[in-house]
Structure 1
């Protein structure tokens, strides 16, 4: 008679799989995807390598799931910040500020999500992740253009340019060789990224207010737009 999993055994398996993903995520957050080998995950979980493989088809399958979990978490935080902001200018600020500050505060994970050389399976997930940010940025720009807050421009090109500018401008700050000094450096970096993004879309209005959740000292103005 063939074995048929019960609801209880399915729930237990789901919990074990989630626990393995947590352990893999912890390894990525400290050493990148290169550190999250099946052997290392098995040792952290006090399981055999074979047992870990019983929950995932391959190491690439496991790490792709870890990537999705991390990327979904960051995207959800950014989307929540955007949705809580009022008006396209404030929403664009929220997107840039949340993306950049969360990346800086979780440097290794952000580096892994954005830049670390990875298996093609994970690279495909990265493209999906980037496309989601492109759609979110496009929505903000579309609303801004429709309401007259932003000048008319090519939505696809501008959204791609903004996402590229935000991520690429963080490369040095996120790299392993960068010496972290203090929060003031982080705030100056975010201020510079914000200034570039607003200038890049030819925004001529008053600078949107700082979100209440933003850290003290973060981006108090957009140079040339207010006093």
Structure 2
């Protein structure tokens, strides 16, 4: 007689997987991917180490899943900002500012997503999500050119430059070497570092000195 998984067992497996994902996320938030040891995740989730490998083929697969979840959340926030009112210049500035401010408010997680040395599977996810950001910015730039708020330019190239500029500008401030003197954003969206990054990005897009 063929084995048939009951709904109760499926729910139990789903709950175990949920706990594994949540505990891994917490480990990354607290100390990056380097801090997310399988033994620590298993202890936090209340499961055996072997149970993790029944849900994920490898630690790299687990980390890639965590990276996808966390980064998709940030991509969605950028998309929301780009979907608000205003011309393309206003919306792009709003989206870039939100990206930078959110990174400074969660520096360890942001460092892990942007620059922490990771396994090839996670690095592949990082590249894919950089393209996702660039595609969002490209559409906004094209809209800006169409409405006349932005000068004509190579939208695909400009969007790639935006992603690179804002990510690279945050690497130093977010790095673990800055842990003793972290650069943190307050409750509002204004911060000298963020203002400087946004000024540079928008000058490059518009050609206007501010």
Instruction: Say yes or no: TM over 0.5.
Output: yes
Asked if 1:33 is matched to 2:37, the reply is no
In structure 1, the gaps of 5 or more residues are 205-222
Residue in 2 that maps onto 1:195: 199
- Following superposition, the deviation at residue 182 of structure 1 comes to 5.8
Q: Aligned pairs, how many?
A: 206
- Following superposition, the deviation at residue 151 of structure 1 comes to 0.3
Asked if the contact 2:78–2:95 (Cα under 8 Å) also holds between the matched residues in 1, the reply is yes
Asked if 1:161 is matched to 2:161, the reply is yes
Normalized per residue, which structure has more helix? 2
Change (3 A) 1:46 1:15: closer
Counterparts of 2:87 and 2:207 in 1: how far apart (Å)? 13
Asked if the contact 1:145–1:151 (Cα under 8 Å) also holds between the matched residues in 2, the reply is yes
Asked if 1:19 is matched to 2:11, the reply is no
Q: Structure 1 residue runs of 4+, over 3 Å off?
A: 181-184
Asked if the contact 1:104–1:110 (Cα under 8 Å) also holds between the matched residues in 2, the reply is yes
- What is the RMSD computed on CA atoms of the aligned residues? 1.8
Asked if the contact 1:24–1:36 (Cα under 8 Å) also holds between the matched residues in 2, the reply is yes
In structure 2, the gaps of 5 or more residues are none
Change (3 A) 1:40 1:127: same
Counterparts of 1:191 and 1:164 in 2: how far apart (Å)? 17
Asked if 1:126 is matched to 2:126, the reply is yes
Question: How is 1:35-54 mapped onto 2 (pairs within 5 angstroms)?
Answer: 35-54=35-54
Residue in 1 that maps onto 2:85: 85
- Following superposition, the deviation at residue 157 of structure 1 comes to 1.1
Per-residue CA distance 1:104-142 (angstroms, 9 max, x = gap): 111011100110111101111111110100000001100
Counterparts of 1:122 and 1:82 in 2: how far apart (Å)? 26
Counterparts of 2:123 and 2:58 in 1: how far apart (Å)? 16
Q: Identify the match of residue 182 of structure 2 among 177, 180, 183.
A: 180
Counterparts of 1:153 and 1:80 in 2: how far apart (Å)? 24
Counterparts of 2:62 and 2:2 in 1: how far apart (Å)? 27
- Following superposition, the deviation at residue 12 of structure 1 comes to 2.8
Counterparts of 1:23 and 1:70 in 2: how far apart (Å)? 13
Asked if the contact 1:88–1:141 (Cα under 8 Å) also holds between the matched residues in 2, the reply is yes
